[in-house]
Amino acid sequence: MDLKYVQTTCPYCGTGCSFNLVVKDGKVVGTAPYHRSPVNEGKVCPKGTYAHEFINSPDRLTKPLIKKDGKFVEASWEEAIKLIADKFKSYKPDECAVLSSARVSNEENYAMMKFARGVLKTRHIDHCARLCHASTVAGLANIFGSGAMTNSIPDIAESKCVFVIGSNTFENHPLIGRQIMKAKSNGAKVVYVDPRKTPTGKQADLFLQFYSGTDVCLLNGMMQEIIKNGWENKEFIEKRCNGFDELKKEVMKDDYSLENVSSVTGVPVDDIKTAAEWFSKSGASTILYSMGITQHTTGVDNVKSVGNIQMLTGNLGRPGTGVNALRGQNNVQGACDMGALPVVFTGYQKVIDEAAHKKFADAWKFPDGIAEGKNGYEVTVMMDVLTDKPGELKCMYIMGENPMISDPDLTHVEHALKSLEFLVVQDIFMNETGVLADVVLPSCCYAEKDGTQTSTERRVQMWRKAQDPPGEAKLDWVIISEIAKAMGYGEQFAWKSAEEIFTEMAALTPSYAGMDYVRLNRPEALHWPCPTKEHPGTPILHIEKFGMPDGKGLMTAIPFKYQQERPDAEYPILLTTGRCIWHWHTGTMTRRSESLEREEPTGWIEMHPEDAKALGVKNNEMVKAISRRGEITIKARITDTIKKGVMFIPFHFVECAANMLTINALDPIAKIPESKACAIKVEKI
Ligand code: SF4
């Protein structure tokens, strides 16, 4: 028997835990602890424990599939690549759109970005960061000059007050939850703000159960209390920030008196006061947030408000502080860093910047140039263009994404994707989006490839190949390169390894310039920015100055606005959506993991006992949940951990898909949808 252990990085959430894959006779059969990672120190959550179970699922795609007469038939790679290359060549540049992926490696995102801009010459490239942290990227870049988590994961244990808002950390980033408990055992206060008393809330010292979407109101109210009591950090504001007067003028308005904030948010006055005092007087307060903050039409405002209170209290640039945006998917940070966005090349170099555009065009040497230096469409806008402007977008190439479960208002998404002339989906499993495709290409999972991913804390870590892919499945970057070669661009895609791609990318990306596979091949890896080969990486951002032109953070007056769709007489319930500990995103991997699927085999709608009583619904009874966009049939779960008037559905489950109900209302800047708040009604069946 041949047995070996291959150290790798977890393919699920953005925490970036390391573990070993156990490989027996060439096949992955289990996971085992890897103790040297400073992030998880040998521990993993249930998803990490069972991260081997889907790898050799009989459902894996093993051959290219081409749709003929409405049915998929197996095809050779030669036939599939030729068909795709011929079709792609037949479209004008901006008739094509590309969705890259937070699930694949940095190298593969770079390859896809280069393919989109250099081969298809389209501006329209995006990925699912649009649905989770687009507001973080836009909001933090606007106030700090960098749109990423400011501190590192182990650093959270140094905090004296951990303020968690809109993040069920214990279920969705469990090994970050462990750092919260470390801080708590060191004497930190934990404040939890959410409509649900989740497992994270149960560990908190203070639980603020607010209405989804009232984040700005709550934070402005806390800031008014801080300023009234003189608890702001005057020295930090004076030396390191602009905009204090404007911020003060806004938050001191009567709208944000404790009584008014209490009435809007549903949080008792005394609890708001206590939170403001603990937060501003701890000496080192950190804010952790996730999609509860970002997935709103006010997502960018919410993010800037989080930045405001941290600047007001001087909680930036030191251990135990910071604005810590917890990214949902393993490589969503990396996919953004690699320029899988419609406005930037790698390292957030703007496509509209002439010098950046010339730099990439010169380096890539496409004889017929690259996509013009104008911003493209975000994925949410692509869907609107497809339905509202017929013929403008005609073709789409989707790698490792499943918008038919993940995007808001699925009826709208289906209509949009069905209006395409040509759709290519590249994935490890047939998924709900793949069934709509013209061609489906089988790709490799994390256990079958070398490469890097960048976790939520900007730590760039390695995947290592543990087994061969099933059947004829190929690496994503190899597939992309083969299509490029068939379209006449072999010279630009002549890489022989992921490492060669990383080297090309790092040479074009200042924040990754000091990294290489030798330096990354160690337990602590490296945090970006890492501009030179001698640089140790940057676990904490903004220590001496912010990334703004004058080095100062920008405090911003943010008036509170309600969400787009509020409960009314017809649709009286506020729906919020999210995840659970057992499943991950659209369930393509975790629902093929027997142990995880056994734990939570289907979705549910969580409701307060008084709401259930008013509806005449008993626990586990099936109900209809209905919004203005669609309806689903789903099991009721009655619990007093959710706020009365609010209901919750996890979005993983196709048979009761939460996104049949959600609204495609977008933040005007980030174009992120308001997945966290819409109006529904519920009927007993
Ligand atoms: Fe994987 Fe996240 Fe669990 Fe760590 S916390 S094992 S990265 S799913």
Q: Give the residue, by CA position, lying nearest to ligand 1 atom 3.
A: 45
Distance in angstroms (rounded) separating the CA atoms of residues 619 and 115: 51
Number of H helices, E strands in the chain: 25, 26
In ligand 1, which atom is closest to the CA atom of 15? 7
* Residues linked to residue 165 through DSSP beta bridges, in sequence order: 193, 289
Q: Which residue has the tokens 């992030």?
A: 39
Q: Establish whether residue 173 lines the binding site of ligand 1, counting it when its CB lies within 6 angstroms of any ligand atom.
A: yes
Q: Establish whether residue 328 lines the binding site of ligand 1, counting it when its CB lies within 6 angstroms of any ligand atom.
A: no
DSSP state of 495: -
Helix (H) or strand (E) holding 123: none
Q: Enter the CATH code of domain 78-129+330-527.
A: 3.40.50.740
Q: Which residue has the tokens 């905009």?
A: 243
Residue 150: pLDDT band (50, 70, 90) is: very high
Distance 163 CA to ligand 1 centre (A): 21
Q: What is the pLDDT of residues 516-575, one digit of tens each?
A: 999 999 999 999 999 999 999 999 999 999 999 999 999 999 999 999 999 999 999 999
Q: What is the pLDDT of residues 86-123, one digit of tens each?
A: 999 999 988 999 999 999 999 999 999 999 999 999 99
The CATH topology of domain 573-684 is: Barwin-like endoglucanases (2.40.40)
% of the chain with per-residue pLDDT over 70? 100
Distance in angstroms (rounded) separating the CA atoms of residues 23 and 644: 49
Distance 581 CA to ligand 1 centre (A): 10
For residues 479-500, average pLDDT: 98
In ligand 1, which atom is closest to the CA atom of 9? 7
- The helix/strand/coil state of 457 is coil
* 460: nearest Cα among 498, 406, 491: 498
* 230: phi then psi, degrees, rounded to nearest 5: 70, 25
Cβ-contact 671, 664 below 8 angstroms = no
Residue 86's CB is within 10 A of a number of other CB atoms, namely 11
Instruction: Please name the residues in contact with 529: beta carbons below 8 A apart, sequence gap of 6 or more.
Output: 510, 511, 535, 537, 538
Q: Is the pTM of this model over 0.90?
A: yes
Distance in angstroms (rounded) separating the CA atoms of residues 141 and 127: 19
% of the chain with per-residue pLDDT over 90? 99
Distance 455 CA to ligand 1 centre (A): 11
CA 43 to each of CA 175, 242, 344, 366, 453: distance values in angstroms, whole numbers, following the listed order: 8, 42, 36, 46, 19
Q: Establish whether residue 45 lines the binding site of ligand 1, counting it when its CB lies within 6 angstroms of any ligand atom.
A: yes
Cβ-contact 591, 655 below 8 angstroms = no
> Which residue among 47, 54, 290 has the greatest number of ligand 1 atoms within 8 angstroms of its CB, and so is best to mutate?
47
Cβ-contact 666, 635 below 8 angstroms = no
Distance 318 CA to ligand 1 centre (A): 26
Distance in angstroms (rounded) separating the CA atoms of residues 310 and 330: 26
CA 523 to each of CA 45, 312, 520: distance values in angstroms, whole numbers, following the listed order: 19, 36, 8
* 543: nearest Cα among 15, 137, 152: 152
Q: Which two tokens stand for residue 194?
A: 């959410």
Q: Which two tokens stand for residue 342?
A: 């419609």
Q: Which homologous superfamily is 132-329 in?
A: Dimethylsulfoxide Reductase, domain 2 (3.40.228.10)
Q: What's the pLDDT score for residue 132? A: 87
Count CA atoms closer than 13 A to 545's CA, side-chain side: 6
Query: Would you list the domain boundaries of the chain?
Result: 78-129+330-527, 132-329, 573-684
Q: Establish whether residue 10 lines the binding site of ligand 1, counting it when its CB lies within 6 angstroms of any ligand atom.
A: yes
Distance 479 CA to ligand 1 centre (A): 28
* Residues linked to residue 462 through DSSP beta bridges, in sequence order: 452
* 203: nearest Cα among 222, 214, 218, 188: 188
Distance in angstroms (rounded) separating the CA atoms of residues 391 and 241: 48
In ligand 1, which atom is closest to the CA atom of 11? 1
Distance 559 CA to ligand 1 centre (A): 36
Distance in angstroms (rounded) separating the CA atoms of residues 159 and 164: 12
The four Cα atoms 33, 36, 38, 43 give a dihedral, to 10 degrees, of 10
Distance in angstroms (rounded) separating the CA atoms of residues 244 and 229: 16
Q: What's the pLDDT score for residue 438? A: 98
Q: Which two tokens stand for residue 526?
A: 């490296």
Q: What is the pLDDT of residues 8-52, one digit of tens each?
A: 999 999 999 999 999 999 999 999 999 999 999 999 999 999 999
Distance 329 CA to ligand 1 centre (A): 10
Q: Establish whether residue 331 lines the binding site of ligand 1, counting it when its CB lies within 6 angstroms of any ligand atom.
A: no
Q: Angle at the Cα of 25 (from 23 to 28), degrees rounded to 5?
A: 30
Q: Which residue has the tokens 């050779």?
A: 76
* Residues linked to residue 97 through DSSP beta bridges, in sequence order: 396
Q: What is the pLDDT of residues 425-440, one digit of tens each?
A: 999 999 999 999 999 9
Instruction: Please name the residues in contact with 455: beta carbons below 8 A apart, sequence gap of 6 or more.
Output: 9, 14, 15, 16, 39, 153, 327, 330, 333, 461
Helix (H) or strand (E) holding 21: strand 18-24
> Which residue among 7, 9, 40, 652 has the greatest number of ligand 1 atoms within 8 angstroms of its CB, and so is best to mutate?
40
In ligand 1, which atom is closest to the CA atom of 45? 3
> Which residue among 8, 9, 10, 19 has the greatest number of ligand 1 atoms within 8 angstroms of its CB, and so is best to mutate?
10
